[in-house]
Structure 1
Amino acid sequence: MAFFRAACIQLRSGKTVSENIAVAETLIRSAAGKGASYLQTPEMSNVLVRSREELLDRIADEDGDPFLARMRALAAELEVFIHIGSIAVLSDNGKVANRAFVIEPAGAILARYDKIHMFDVDLPNGESWRESATYEPGTQTVIADLFGIKVGMAVCYDIRFPAIFRTQARAGAEVLTAPAAFTRQTGRAHWHVLQRARAIENGAFVISAAQGGTHEDGRETFGHSLVVDPWGEILAELDHDEPGYVLAEIDTAMAVKARQRIPAIANERDFVCATADGLKEMTA
C-alpha cells in the first residue's frame, strides 16, 4: 500500500509543438509545486492536427521528439513521475504511433504503451474519424511500476474495451489510466460513466487527463479531466474544458478495501456462450 498526490494536466493542444510544450510545462511546474509527484498529460500532448500530411510535417521519431525530450528533462529537474498520456511519433514502417510514456524522476523512460484500439467511427452529428488510416495500433497492454504501485496504461478509446483494464487488474494494477482527447459529443454522453465503470468493476483508481475545448484543426474535445476512486466516486474533476490541472490524493489501501468488499476479480469464472452453432468457449 502506498500514498501519493496525482495531477491531471488538461491541455488544448494545437498545431505548434513548441507552444504545446510551453503550456504543458507551465501547468506541470505549478502542480508539482503543490506536491504532485505523478503528473499525467492527455492523449496527443505534443500536437493535435487532423490532416495526416500536416501531422507528418510536425512530428519526429521517438529520439527526435521535442515534447518527449522536454518532459524527460522536466521530470529529472522536478524529481517527479511524468506520464505523457500520448504523443504522435513516427514509426519505422512509415505510420504513426499514438504512444504513451511514463518517465521516472531520473528522467529515464520507465514504460511505453501504443494505443491498441483505433477510433474508427461515424458519429450522429456527422463527425467521422479513421485513426487506423494514420496510426499503427499497439498489440500489448502495459503496466508501469511507480512508487511500488502497479499503474495500468491505456489511451482514450481503450476505455470502451473493459478487457484491457480487467487484464491489468488481474495482474495487480491498483491504478488504471485513460488519458484522452474525447470528442465533445461522446464525452457529454459517456465520459463520466465509462471512467466510473472501469474503476468500480476493477476496484481500482482511474486517472484520466483530457484535452478540452475547440482546437486549431476545428475538433472539439470534452475536457473534464478527473480521478475516480476504487468505489466509483469522483475524487477530483476539472469541471470545464479549459487548460488547467486537478489534484487528488491516491491511497492504494482504498483499492484493497474495495476488492475485499466486492471480490469481483477473485469471483470470476470462465464460461461458455450457447449459440445456434453450438457452444463456443468464452473467457471473462
Structure 2
Amino acid sequence: MMKRPFGIAVAQLGPIQPSDSRASAVARLVEMMREAASLGARMVVFPELALTTFFPRYWMSDEDAIERYFEKSMPSAQTQILFDTSKNLGIGFYLGYAELTTDGHRFNTSILVDQTGKIVGRYRKIHLPGHADHKVGKPFQHLEKKYFEVGNEGFHVWQTMDARIGMCLCNDRRWTETWRVLALQGADIVAVGYNTPSVNIHWPEPPHLRMHSHLISLQAAAYQNTTWIAAAGKAGLEDGCHLFAGSVIVSPAGEILAQTQSEDDEVIYCKADLALADTFRQHIFNYGAHRRPEHYRLITERTGVGDPLGKEPDPS
C-alpha cells in the first residue's frame, strides 16, 4: 500500500497563571508553531483552553468569567498573529479556547485551521465533566457545567491538508462513542486538547492511575478506531493546582510514538504514515464487513445503566 506521510506535531503548554496576559500565551504558541514547522510538521495541535489559565477551577459570576476568559471572536486582535504565522509557515493548527457566540452562548471550543491560516472546522465540547454547584471545602472547583453549554454541532471530520481530521476535547477522550462516530467518518487523525488536574476532588484517586487511564484511553481509541491521535495537554502548577502532562502522538496500532518529557512548553513530532490506518481498516477493523449495529441499540436507547434515553442518573 502506498505511504501517506503526514508530519504531526503536538505543542504542550506549561502552566498559564491567572496574571499571565493573552499576548504572552499567544507568543508562546507562536514560538512552538515555528518549532513545529522547522521539524516538518504539516499541523500542530495545541491544548484545550490554550489562551488562559484553566478558569473552571474558580467560582465566580458568569459575567466575570465572560469578561476575563471568553473569546468574542476568532481570530481576535490578540490571536491574529497565530493565523498570520500559520499562513507564512504553511502549517495548520488546532486550538482550544472559551467561545462566546454573538447571541450569547458559551462553549468549550476547538478550531481547525489549515495551512493558509483559514478556519476550516469547529468543534464544541460535548462531554462536559464536573459540576455546576459550588463545592465548598474542595481544594478547587471543576465548573465546566456552570460556564459552558453542551456542544451543539456534533462530532465531525474535515477533509483538509490531504487528510481526514477530526476533533474532540479533554473528557471526550474517555468516551468510546466519541471515537467510533469519528471513525465511521473515516478520520485519519484526531486532534484532542486537554487540561486535566492531577487530583480528583471527588475521591482519592492515585495520580499515577489518572495518567494511566489517560494514556490507555488514547491508545485503545487509536487502535479500536483505526486512527492517529495527537493529544496536547496544558501541564504544571497553575495557581497551586497541578495539571498532568502526558502529551502524546499515538498510532493506529495503539503505540505511543512520541511523548513529552516535561511539564513545560514542549513540542513533539512524528512523521506519521496515514496509510497505516487504511491497513487496519482493511484487515482488522473492516466496519462494513464485521460491524453489527442492529445489536448495539442500547448505545442510543439508554444514557446510563438501565436508564431510558433522556433520563439522567440520580446524582446522589
Question: TM above 0.5, one fold?
Answer: yes
Residue 184 (1) aligns with residue 198 (2): yes
Aligned partners of 1:30 and 1:55: how far apart in 2?
Answer: 32
Structure 1: give runs of 5+ residues left out of the alignment. none
- Cα pair 2:225 2:285 within 8 Å, conserved: no
Aligned partners of 2:276 and 2:247: how far apart in 1?
Answer: 21
Opposite residue 168 of structure 2, the aligned amino acid is A
Q: Return the match for 2:170 from 138, 156, 166.
A: 156
Q: 2:49 — aligned with what?
A: 44
- Cα pair 2:130 2:143 within 8 Å, conserved: yes
Q: 1:135 — aligned with what?
A: 148
Identical pairs, percent: 22
Instruction: Give the C-alpha shift of residue 110 in structure 1.
Output: 0.8
Q: Return the match for 1:199 from 216, 219, 222.
A: 222
Instruction: Give the C-alpha shift of residue 150 in structure 1.
Output: 0.7
Q: 2:233 — aligned with what?
A: 210
Q: Return the match for 2:17 from 14, 17, 35.
A: 14
The 3 A distance-change label for structure 1 pair 31 and 64 is closer
Aligned partners of 2:74 and 2:194: how far apart in 1?
Answer: 23
1:221-249 residue CA offsets vs partner (Å, 9 max, x unmatched) = 11111000001000100033221110011
Residue 168 (1) aligns with residue 171 (2): no
Aligned partners of 2:107 and 2:168: how far apart in 1?
Answer: 14
Instruction: Give the C-alpha shift of residue 72 in structure 1.
Output: 1.2
| Correspondence list, 1:41-80, <5 A | 41-48=46-53, 49-50=55-56, 51=58, 52-53=60-61, 54-58=64-68, 59-63=70-74, 65-66=76-77, 68-80=79-91
Q: 2:34 — aligned with what?
A: 29
Q: Which moved more, 1:87-96 or 1:6-15?
A: 87-96
Q: 2:312 — aligned with what?
A: none
Instruction: Give the C-alpha shift of residue 213 in structure 1.
Output: 0.5
The 3 A distance-change label for structure 1 pair 215 and 65 is farther
Instruction: Give the C-alpha shift of residue 130 in structure 1.
Output: 2.5
Residue 252 (1) aligns with residue 274 (2): yes
TM-score of the pair, normalised by structure 1: 0.87
Instruction: Give the C-alpha shift of residue 63 in structure 1.
Output: 4.4
* Alignment length (residue pairs): 274
- Cα pair 1:71 1:82 within 8 Å, conserved: no
Q: Which moved more, 1:165-174 or 1:143-152?
A: 143-152
- Cα pair 2:99 2:108 within 8 Å, conserved: yes
Q: Return the match for 2:158 from 125, 136, 144.
A: 144
Aligned partners of 1:179 and 1:229: how far apart in 2?
Answer: 17
Aligned partners of 2:192 and 2:169: how far apart in 1?
Answer: 5
Instruction: Give the C-alpha shift of residue 93 in structure 1.
Output: 4.5
Q: 1:3 — aligned with what?
A: 5
Aligned partners of 1:244 and 1:231: how far apart in 2?
Answer: 24
1:73-116 residue CA offsets vs partner (Å, 9 max, x unmatched) = 111111111111x1112224534221111111221111111111
The 3 A distance-change label for structure 1 pair 19 and 185 is same
1:120-162 residue CA offsets vs partner (Å, 9 max, x unmatched) = 259xx86542211101221211212222211111001001121
Residue 91 (1) aligns with residue 105 (2): no
RMSD, matched Cα? 2.5
The 3 A distance-change label for structure 1 pair 127 and 200 is farther
Instruction: Give the C-alpha shift of residue 47 in structure 1.
Output: 0.9
- Cα pair 2:114 2:161 within 8 Å, conserved: no
Aligned partners of 1:88 and 1:67: how far apart in 2?
Answer: 14
Higher strand proportion: 1
Opposite residue 17 of structure 2, the aligned amino acid is G
Aligned partners of 1:154 and 1:67: how far apart in 2?
Answer: 24
The 3 A distance-change label for structure 1 pair 240 and 185 is farther
Aligned partners of 2:190 and 2:74: how far apart in 1?
Answer: 27
